[in-house]
Amino acid sequence: MSQQPYFEQNKNQSRLTDIDRPFYVGSQTTVHEGYQIASHWHYHMEIIYIAYGKASITVGNHSFEAEQGAFILIHPCEVHSVTVQPLQPSKHYVIGFDPDMLSPLPQLAFELQYYLPYTTPLHGLTTWLTPGEQDGILLHTLIEEMYEEYQIRAFGFELAVSSSLFKLILWLLRYQRTRLSSTFTDDAVEDTKKMAAFRKLLVTINEEGMLSMSAEEAAKLCMMSYSRFASFFKGVMHTSFTQYVLFIKIRRAEQLLLDPTKSITQITLETGFNHTSYFIKQFKRIKGVSPKRYRRERLQVTSDYEE
């Protein structure tokens, strides 16, 4: 059956009648039939764990082979797809959760939802992580226990799954921190009042689609002078406000390009660009391919698999 690119809204992928919990734990096992989820995106965070075998993963326009033991981080709003070729025995787990689960821990929530999605590609880091042997064994057991709890759903399973999920997130965050340079530290996040306003700004840009906001408007929202805001923003995100907004615009364009009914001109306007030529130039500079080629390659994944 054809699987069209889509926006995935419900984290409950079991398709059973159930309440929409802030997490899910699923698995997919194939022996010879193969498996594919076409290019899509969602607002929740997703962790894919390859228990055995391998899978072809595409995040944005970057494709790679994920093998046994690998963890793949899918940040909110990232376009991605998963393909296991026929005759390739494979099993992978998928853990999805709302970043808001970490809202009582605002700094960790900020890092997971807004910091790492930008700084990971900025530093040329991969979105897949492979733990050492000892960590790998512990994490494999942790995920199997999470999956069993989620499937059996005994009394208090929500607490059991949440507890294991926090352990997994902690390992992932610490692992990513070891891969960032020493300049990517907490030197600019000690001022809690400024950080609270800063997080509110990023929510406004990321979730409310305020892509036309200027740096001056952002400074006012954070109750800072323009010069102080520019310095503070760069101290936290290690880039300028303008470049960060451009990153969000291009990410939004990736999502819209999955809809073949939308023209490049429509996407230009919906992502806050004034001129199509400038949009195409910036998209190609950041993603390495033109918008048309990006769309063709992402939509071609499904048709190739079906053939």
| CATH at 204 | 1.10.10.60
Please check whether residue 184 lies inside any domain of the structure. Answer: no
Task: Name which of 116, 35, 30, 33 is nearest 73 in CA terms.
Answer: 116
71 phi and psi angles, rounded to 5 deg = -115, 130
**For the chain, what percent of residues have pLDDT higher than 90?**
58
pLDDT tens string 246-284 = 999 999 999 999 999 999 999 999 999 999 999 999 999
Predicted confidence (pLDDT) at residue 1 exceeds the cutoff of 50: no
Q: Give the range of the structural domain holding residue 59, as residue numbers without chain letter.
A: 6-179
Rounded to whole angstroms, what are the CA distances from 251 to 48, 139, 164, 257, 292?
A: 21, 31, 30, 10, 15
Please check whether residue 129 lies inside any domain of the structure. Answer: yes
Boundary of a domain, candidates 179, 204, 238: 179
Please check whether residue 210 lies inside any domain of the structure. Answer: yes
Please check whether residue 254 lies inside any domain of the structure. Answer: yes
**Number of folded domains in the chain?**
2
More confident residue, 186 or 263: 263
Domain at 74, CATH number: 2.60.120.280
For the ranges 140-144, 201-205, 302-306, which has the lowest average pLDDT?
A: 302-306
More confident residue, 15 or 128: 128
Sorted by sequence, the CB contacts under 8 Å of residue 216 that are 6+ apart come out as 226
Are 221 and 161 members of one domain?
no
Are 10 and 156 members of one domain?
yes
255/40 Cα distance (integer angstroms): 8
pLDDT of residue 306: 44
Structure tokens at 204: 């406004």
